[in-house]
Amino acid sequence: MRLAVVGLQLTALAVAETVVTLAYRAEALVLCLLYGVLATLGWLWFTRRPPRSPVSVSAGLALDLVLIGGWLFLTGGYTNPLVSLLLLPIAVAIILVPLSQSIALTVSGIAVYTALVIWHTPITNEHHNANLAQLHLAGMWVTFAMTAAILLLVVGALARRLRQQQEQLSTIRETRLRDEQIIALGLSAAAVAHRLGTPLNTMTLLVDEIRSAFPDPDLADDLNLMKQQLGLCGAHLQQLSSAAVQAKSAQLENLQAQNWLARLRESATLLWPAAPVEWSTAVPDCRVAVDATLDQAILNLLANALTASPSWVAVSMRCTEPNRVEIVVEDRGDGLEDAFRETPGEQIVGSENGLGVGLFLSNATIQRLGGTLKARVDQHGTTMIIDLPAARAVNAGMGGDQ
């Protein structure tokens, strides 16, 4: 903005000199060049060291008013058609600085204009009324066009920057609220897991005592099954603790997509041995960066699909450009249709067979690793698409291979 003002002032001096003889041409030219030097130095300084306080910005805009007002004083005062340039620092101040400082700068601009009305120097030592009238009208048009262009470029750019910052702050605020919900769920799960340890140990001891007190072969089979189930519960609690430690250290495994899909298939087979899951054999040749929480997120989505469509579920994987991997989970149910009226996983949805937090946690885990969760519901069923960055993209964002 400042360099544009300086350019306009130099152009005005050159045009005016071809029509009339300016009374203070040399002084106005020196002041204009001084303004240009200060504008360039200020631009270079604030580019390398952005201002930390709005006071420095207000001081710079006040200096703009003084320099522009001084140049106008030497070139006709309020009769100069470029007097509207005083509005530019005020417009920038309204956007950049606090209200009190912008009010002060507005009052200063009015004071400078008032001073130019009361005290001003003649534009020429001779009378050239006709030439001055035409020059003034032409200058008013040029001033309007340049002021509008500068406002569009400078003030418009500042307004767009502020809107982008507001959107970023809104996104950060939403992410923080989601993380707080996840932390609350994690603390609750950790507390429940800690409290379940003692009842499991007690029940294991009771099973051993019952077996000793009642040596019945039929009862022994039931007791063995009960002990096996108690051991499975204990293993799940240990897995929960290890997953929490791994998530805290943010360790990622760099695996081939085929190996990761095989691991997911093995886990799903252990959880649902008789489930009709159709696993695609066409696996792309690429690598992915995963952890235990991502595995659990995919298994949660698979569990939702099996609940909605117990007869058929399909899982496939494909590579997309540039450097993206998609996992597609398809089913023939419509149980999640109401949950996808908005972005899937953004809110905790209702669930008849669970706590309703699986989809929410899965989406949070996928987003934490730089991915997105998309859903498509039609008359054929529900399709969940997990879009993840390939291993190279993840490692580049984290500063190296994991």
Q: Among 361, 325, 363, which Cα is nearest to 344's?
A: 363
pLDDT (mean) for 239-249: 59
Instruction: Provide the pLDDT confidence category of residue 249 given band limits of 50, 70 and 90.
Output: low
Given a cut of 50, whether residue 399 has pLDDT beyond it is: no
CA-to-CA dists, residue 247 to 43, 186, 291, 375, 389, angstroms = 45, 11, 8, 26, 18
CA atoms of 51 and 57, how far apart (whole Å):
7
Q: Among 23, 33, 123, 111, which Cα is nearest to 81's?
A: 123
2 close to 64: Cβ distance less than 8 angstroms: yes
Whole-number average pLDDT of the chain: 78
Task: Say what the pLDDT of residue 395 is.
Answer: 44
Q: At residue 284, what is the residue type?
A: P
Helix 54-74 vs helix 99-118: crossing angle, to nearest 10 = 10
- Determine which of 39-43, 82-86, 238-242, 265-269 has the lowest per-residue pLDDT on average: 238-242
Nearest 10 degrees: Cα torsion 203, 206, 212, 213: -140
Q: Which residue has the higher pLDDT, 100 or 21?
A: 100
The domain made up of 250-398 has a fold known as: Heat Shock Protein 90 (3.30.565)
Q: Using one digit for the tens of pLDDT, what is the confidence trace for 327-367?
A: 999 988 765 555 454 455 444 444 444 445 567 777 777 88
Angle ∠(367,368,371) on CA atoms, nearest 5: 40
Angle ∠(56,58,62) on CA atoms, nearest 5: 115
Q: Which residue has the higher pLDDT, 264 or 154?
A: 264
Given a cut of 50, whether residue 396 has pLDDT beyond it is: no
pLDDT (mean) for 30-43: 90
- Determine which of 245-259, 304-318, 366-380 has the lowest per-residue pLDDT on average: 245-259
Task: Say what the pLDDT of residue 197 is.
Answer: 75
Task: Say what the pLDDT of residue 179 is.
Answer: 64
Q: Using one digit for the tens of pLDDT, what is the confidence trace for 121-169?
A: 776 655 555 456 666 677 777 777 777 777 777 777 777 888 888 888 8
Task: Say what the pLDDT of residue 126 is.
Answer: 55
Q: Which residue has the higher pLDDT, 347 or 194?
A: 194
pLDDT (mean) for 317-330: 85
Given a cut of 50, whether residue 114 has pLDDT beyond it is: yes
Given a cut of 70, whether residue 105 has pLDDT beyond it is: yes
Percent over 70 (pLDDT), the chain: 79
Ramachandran region, residue 72 (left: φ > 0; alpha: ψ -120 to 50; beta: rest): alpha
Task: Say what the pLDDT of residue 314 is.
Answer: 92
CA atoms of 80 and 358, how far apart (whole Å):
70
Task: Say what the pLDDT of residue 64 is.
Answer: 92
CA atoms of 387 and 298, how far apart (whole Å):
12
